[in-house]
């Protein structure tokens, strides 16, 4: 006797995935930059030095006097000589006035004039030390700096960003199925 058999054919369900990739775009524009250079400045104020040399005393001591100084010196010398002469004459007059004292006044006056005393002399360095006067005013230098610099202006740009998100779609690629077959003899269900 042949037993009937049941045959099962099964097909599994299959799903499929459709994926769309995400898209991202970034565009960055460069920043705008402006640089302005301010130069440094320098001002120099210079007053030149000055040298004064006064040689008037030197020339006077060497008897190379200018006219006004020479005239003043001669005037002073003449006054001094006049005063000495007046003094001497006055002394001689006083001596002569005292002739009654029975002194040899005239002989004394003649002897003093005939035999003058030794001349006075001195060693002098001509020109004397310090006869040339030097005055020096040094140079004055004033430097004024003004610092420059750089003025920088920057305008940044934001990035342009576009993003399209990706997606995944799930679909049924194959439906499941179950097929049942009866193979074999005939089954008599009427017995």
Check residue 50 and give its pLDDT: 93
What are φ and ψ of residue 74, in 5° steps? -65, -35
Say if CB 5 and CB 183 are below 8 A apart: yes
- Specify the pairing of strand 160-164 against strand 23-27: antiparallel
The token pair that represents 176 in the structure block: 């499941």
Torsion angle in degrees (nearest 10) through CA of 95, 101, 107, 111? -50
pLDDT in tens for each of the 191 residues of the chain? 567 788 888 999 899 899 999 999 999 999 999 999 988 999 999 999 999 999 888 888 888 888 888 888 899 999 999 999 999 888 888 878 777 777 777 777 778 777 777 877 777 777 788 888 999 999 999 999 898 888 899 999 999 999 999 999 998 888 998 888 877 766 555 55
Check residue 1 and give its pLDDT: 56
Check residue 3 and give its pLDDT: 73
Check residue 67 and give its pLDDT: 85
Q: How far apart are CA 22 and CA 163, in angstroms?
A: 7
Check residue 22 and give its pLDDT: 92
Q: How far apart are CA 172 and CA 15, in angstroms?
A: 4
pLDDT tens-place string over residues 145-182: 898 888 899 999 999 999 999 999 998 888 998 888 87
Q: How far apart are CA 53 and CA 130, in angstroms?
A: 12
Instruction: Cite the DSSP H helix spans in 20-179.
Output: 56-61, 67-97, 105-114
Check residue 187 and give its pLDDT: 56
pTM of the predicted structure, to 2 decimals: 0.37
HSE at residue 76, side-chain half, CA atoms within 13 A, is 6
């Amino acid at each position: 006797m042949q037993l009937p058999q049941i045959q099962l054919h099964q097909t599994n369900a299959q799903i499929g995935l459709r994926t769309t990739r995400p898209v991202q775009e970034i565009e960055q524009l460069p920043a705008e930059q402006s640089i302005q250079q301010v130069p440094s400045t320098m001002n120099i104020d210079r007053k030149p030095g000055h040298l004064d040399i006064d040689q008037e005393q030197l020339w006077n001591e060497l008897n190379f006097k200018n006219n006004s100084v020479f005239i003043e010196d001669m005037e002073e010398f003449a006054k001094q000589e006049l005063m000495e002469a007046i003094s001497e004459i006055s002394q001689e007059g006083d001596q002569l006035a005292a002739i009654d004292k029975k002194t040899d006044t005239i002989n004394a006056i003649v002897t003093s004039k005939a035999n003058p005393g030794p001349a006075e002399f001195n060693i002098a360095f001509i020109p004397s030390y310090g006869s040339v006067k030097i005055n020096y005013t040094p140079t004055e230098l004033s430097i004024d700096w003004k610092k420059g610099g750089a003025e920088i202006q920057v305008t940044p740009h934001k990035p342009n960003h576009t993003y399209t998100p990706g997606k995944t779609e799930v679909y049924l690629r194959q439906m499941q199925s179950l097929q049942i077959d009866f193979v074999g003899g005939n089954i008599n269900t009427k017995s």
